[in-house]
Amino acid sequence: MNESVIKTIGVAFAVCLICSLIVSLSAVSLREQQKENKLNDRRVKILEVADIKIEPDQTIAEAFTKLEQKFIDFNTGKLMDEYKNFNIDEYDQLISLKDSTLSSPVPKSEDIAIIKNRENVGKIFILRDDDDNIDKLILPIRGYGLWGTLFGYIALEGDFNTVSGITYYEHKETPGLGAEVDNVDWKKSWIGKKIYQDNQVALTVIKGKVANDDPSKLYKVDGLSGATITGRGVSNMINYWFGNSGYAKLFEELDYES
């Protein structure tokens, strides 16, 4: 009787041990693959907003080589090829937010997008034309909506003012309401809109529809119906990221260089 109890426990223990070994081994062996998949998810979004097609004979990573990646020092607006020991492919500025030596608290009075912390150095993507001029810039943006922070990318043309695309890759907004930021037609409605008017950030998501005869229609995007708060969050993040604490200094630097 006793012997069979011990045997049962022994067999159960052995089964547990073998299973846990299998689980740990698969977790370790799949880690690199998971990292690559996460990187590829992000790359697909960036390619989508840059309007770069992945050809049937191409991998995501191959299509992505069309884009140049640069670090951006938000304090100076300067682009850099190197930043500490970070590998630019793997650098994730959102991880920098957890390190007080790599990020800075945003003063409450400036924190219109409610991001709390801003990385000291970000990462942007550049698409160049055949003459090596900047055709598009793809810039990460984020800000608080109704339920949480929306994370996305906006693409600008080489005039650093005209929007050529916008996309979000993570948010907590309600399906059918705030989550309509993912609506293809709404995203298309951003194309051709202008960020700055007389050197001030002017682009906003309004409540309701932009009238066709509105003289300021280039600076206005249709609101999302029943989701004014999400729309306001999107406007606020445009305001923050295209202001002086965001990408405005970068555009000055790039204008100066060209």
The yes or no reply on residue 146 touching ligand FMN (CB under 6 A) is yes
Please identify, among the stretches 91-99, 129-137, 222-230, 240-248, the one whose residues bind ligand FMN according to the rule CB under 6 A: 222-230
Per-residue contact string for residues 85-114; x = within reach of ligand FMN by CB under 6 A: ------------------------------
Please identify, among the stretches 35-43, 122-130, 211-219, 220-228, the one whose residues bind ligand FMN according to the rule CB under 6 A: 220-228
The identity of residue 117, as a single letter, is N
Q: Are 138 and 155 in contact (CB under 8 A)?
A: yes
Q: Give the span between the Cα atoms of 96 and 163, in whole angstroms.
A: 27
* 3-class state of residue 88 by DSSP: coil
The yes or no reply on residue 227 touching ligand FMN (CB under 6 A) is yes
192: which 2 tokens?
């051709």
The yes or no reply on residue 230 touching ligand FMN (CB under 6 A) is yes
Strands (E) located in 106-240: 117-119, 121-128, 134-144, 149-157, 163-170, 196-197, 200-201, 204-205, 220-221
* 3-class state of residue 217 by DSSP: helix
Nearest approach in angstroms of CB 255 to ligand FMN is: 36
Among 120, 161, 174, 218, binds ligand FMN (CB under 6 A): 174
- Give me the residues that bind ligand FMN (CB under 6 A), please: 146, 173-174, 177-178, 225-230
